[in-house]
Amino acid sequence: MSIPGSRATPPDPPGSRPPDPTRLFLVRHGQSTWNGQRRIQGQLDPPLSALGEMQARRLAERLSGRLFDGFYTSDLARCRVTATTVAAEIGMNPEPLTDLREIALGEWEGLTREETISRYPEEWARWERKPSWDIVPGSEGAEAFEVRVHRVLDELLERHPHGDILIVTHGGVIQVALGRTIGNRSHGLFPFVIDNCSITILTKGRARTVISGVNDVSHLHDGAVAALARRDRSGGLTPQH
């Protein structure tokens, strides 16, 4: 029954509704043994720490039962193990992709902040004045890293024009993805806090990509996991992703 003076709204014609957006669920790996030691990782391959394994299990519980249209991981161990832990809860196996690796940090990989200062005093002094990945001897470099990250994320967005995509990767990769969304480039220090096993969500619609959430760690912030995470959180100028 129509209301007098009102107009009936015709249904949308077939195909007129915009497609559902693609959402990238970007997850940083659980804490590694080197995160706990505040040692620069880059593309070296330390395992998860006991805390990192616990974080991965909490992440898996958080994502349990959620449906994803794609599941990808960096091929480095700290990501693969995190992703494998999640896989058992969501019923999907992750596809490893080399391009999802952290930035390669050349001769600084494997060193602590103190060791870096001792062995590379000139480069460290330049880093403190104006941080840049291009200062690091043998580094992949800021531009090459950004190009790689943009390329792999664009390929995944093309592969999945809609739906939710789960990506287990590294802090630097997530920072570059966020930076592009807000129109910033990163040459050294990153502007966002991206904790281990946090969830960051980018939503790509028809016209633009927006940030739907950053560094969600609500699944970690209770009991012993929260206490350990606060105690072991990395800090300082040294890149430790």
Q: Show which residues are catalytic.
A: 29, 102
**Beta partners for residue 102, in sequence order:** none
Quick one: three-class SS letters along 131-171? CCHHHCCCECCHHHHHHHHHHHHHHHHHHCCCEEEEEEECH
Residue 114 to residue 118: CA distance in whole angstroms? 6
Are the CB atoms for 45 and 78 separated by under 8 Å? yes
- Sheet with 70-74: strands ordered across: 95-97, 70-74, 163-169, 22-28, 199-204, 209-216
Phi and psi, residue 3, nearest 5°? -85, 135
Q: At what angle do helices 171-182 and 142-159 cross, to 10 degrees?
A: 80
Quick one: three-class SS letters along 164-228? EEEEEECHHHHHHHHHHHHCCCCCCCCCCCCCCCCEEEEEECCCCEEEEEEEECCCCCCHHHHHH
Residue 228 to residue 25: CA distance in whole angstroms? 24
Q: Of all residues in the chain, what percent are helix, strand and coil, respectively (each to 5)?
A: 40, 15, 40
Q: Is 82 helix (H, G, I), strand (E, B) or coil?
A: helix
